[in-house]
Structure 1
């Protein structure tokens, strides 16, 4: 199924039902009086967050959604049936805005959260409502109000604890596949990942991390180079970034410069994202000797200010990744009450 993280919709709430003009007519009941009932309220349109969804694919082809209109009132003081509400399921992390006014309409962040995005029209009044001492036989009714109609833009910001960033072919997808049940495409050419991938990492019996992998970044991504920075917004809700670096590239280029390239693209996209905590993962370490690896770590440690954790891992050796995920869960306080000094302690560690 294709990953879709943007869509434009037209939502139409139901119109209110009209009030009824009716008079009671029964044998042996002269001058029965007005008995026209009110109409029913129109149905409203809602968005509801559903954690079983992780894409807006359902809204790729259908763009118009209508709630049911209210039914008209009838004689005998019978009110019309209200129109059924229309509830549209969306993934948690969905943001909705009005295309005409640019108003921020809603942001759904947790499972079961529900927000009304178009209100149904109010019902009309039947003539029984207008009976008075001076008007015993009113012929006045009101029509139902029209339902709200809105042109909406929705976009998805995936909710994850940890984000994997780096240049193409750094091994981010391999790491995600090794630590979770996710099955991203893995190949030996750049830009294998063309859309965000999400996996759940079981650190232990009580702790789980949600990890998102976004397509690789190259110099000029903020200006549209490569796949650009279109998917970087999916890192906006993460609390920790794991910057994956291919140690084999050290023979061709300075790893410090490659790390700085990604940092600049993050900063160009969002200064808030650039300031998020980042740990370095030196990947494919099974292919270099210990002496070379120590030299790479020393070079990177000297250029990182302030000091951040640097882990030597291999995407094809899960045992090297477990300490990283466990440390990330500790740092984020997942599965336990985090102490005030946890973040400061974790930030100063360099394995």
Structure 2
């Protein structure tokens, strides 16, 4: 089964917790702090495997949770970092955050990698907080939470040439005639409901990959029929071969078919109609009136490259393939394909990491939210008084106390952060 779009949930590994421990050695009755740091949580990495052709593996398993780091140990022993969770995807996979639609990775080449969800760093053990004023701290950090969100995975086929056209115009027949691909062929709409790929070899020794894509209908740019499934794959192609049923045996006007599809492509992405295009008038063996060709060629313009073929009888196929191969040699890549990378393709630009917001609940409690304060909250061990005092200092440093006063908070009022409740004290 061909699957080209799925939604999945990712949870990178949390960092391991730091440890509160002290040296306990013979003849050293007042040993110093010896709590080790926690290990880093596992990243979630996507890697291209050229042997894959579909996102089928992600249809039935849609939740991926990476391992957390090992907790810190005594004697200042560092917890073990977790190995990354590597998910294999086919070439042409685009990964976007579902909530923001931000593109996190665009993976096209075999072996290309991208860290999509970053694991949390390990919490620091108590020995990391020792100072001259507090040589034996009795608190440590919890591990930082790993990133957690849903992503949309889209597959855009990596083909040199895309066959476009209305349903049942002969695209599948043409692909089967020029390659060893065996697409399903039938005389009814939407015979092709998934893209088919074939390697085409010309008689002069050149070769390229051709894709037979699901047929378009009017409204495809808005998702009607198989529109978005079709148009997503066209974006990667360098040359477009526009197949027209010139015989009109399906009861449609060839000129209107051409204009309709060009319009839908422009509505979806204006760049598509700027691609090199060859117009193929198929089923010429069923046409006896030369005026049919003259009318079409006059309507679309003299500058258009038009080939008259019959995919069924192989008429003029060689001449068409030679011209397509020439265009590929003259044409740059359809999109700027990113090189192999071990980093994110898109970097997140945060205007202010310490930004926070204050709202009021129905019961009058003040609710503080924000990525930075929530991260600090999760990394604080509230079972230890020293850690609680440190958290209070961090809130003051970030300006949250002053902001609460500006909102009218008074001593004894409730403050909430991620479900935890505190009493505001001056």
TM-score of the superposed pair, with normalisation by structure 1: 0.84
The Cα shift of 1:79 comes to 0.6
Q: Contact 2:238 / 2:331 at 8 angstroms: preserved in 1? A: no
Contact 1:301 1:307 in 2 (8 A): no
The corresponding residue for 1:310 is: 306
Instruction: Tell me the C-alpha RMSD between the 2 structures.
Output: 2.7
Residue range with higher mean Cα deviation, 280-289 or 171-180: 280-289
Which secondary structure state, in structure 1, belongs to the residue aligned with residue 326 of structure 2? helix
Q: Distance between the aligned counterparts of 1:18 and 1:206, measured in 2?
A: 62
Question: What is the distance in 1 between the residues matched to 2:51 and 2:236?
Answer: 18
User: Cα 1:144–1:229, aligned 2, differ >3 Å: closer, same or farther?
Assistant: closer
Question: For structure 1, which runs of at least 5 residues remain unmatched after alignment?
Answer: 341-351
The answer on 1:23 being equivalent to 2:22 is yes
The reply on whether 1:327 has 2:323 as its aligned counterpart is yes
| Residue equivalent to 1:343 | none
Alpha-carbon spacing, 1:252–1:145, altered in 2? closer, same or farther (3 Å): closer
CA shift in 2, pair 1:10/1:253, >3 Å: closer
Could you tell me which residue of structure 2 aligns to residue 45 of structure 1? 44
Deviations 1:243-268 (A, max 9, x none): 11223327955433332233233334
SS at match of 1:330: helix
Map residues 57-206 of structure 1 onto 2, 5 A cutoff.
Answer: 57-203=56-202
**SS state at 1:249 partner:** coil
Structure 2 spans left out of the alignment, 5+ residues: 333-426
Residue number in structure 2 paired with 1:349 = none
- Conservation of the 8 A alpha-carbon contact between 1:165 and 1:216: yes
Aligned partners of 1:297 and 1:310 also within 8 Å: no
Please state whether the residue corresponding to 1:311 is helix, strand or coil: strand
Distance in 1, Cα, partners of 2:170 & 2:109? 31
1:29 Cα offset (Å): 4.7
- Per the alignment, residue 297 of structure 1 pairs with 293
Q: Give the match for residue 348 of structure 1.
A: none
Q: TM-score, normalization: structure 2?
A: 0.71
In the alignment, is the contact (CA less than 8 A) between 1:16 and 1:123 conserved in 2? yes
Contact 1:217–1:229 (CA under 8 A) maintained in structure 2: no
Decide whether aligned partners of structure 1 residues 21 and 303 sit closer, same or farther in structure 2, where only a CA change above 3 A counts. same
Q: Give the distance between the partners of 2:261 and 2:43, measured in 1 at CA.
A: 45
- CA–CA distance in structure 2, aligned partners of residues 278 and 11 of structure 1: 40
Task: Choose 186-195 or 123-132, whichever is displaced more.
Answer: 123-132
How far apart are the structure 2 equivalents of 1:101 and 1:167? Answer: 34
Larger radius of gyration: 2
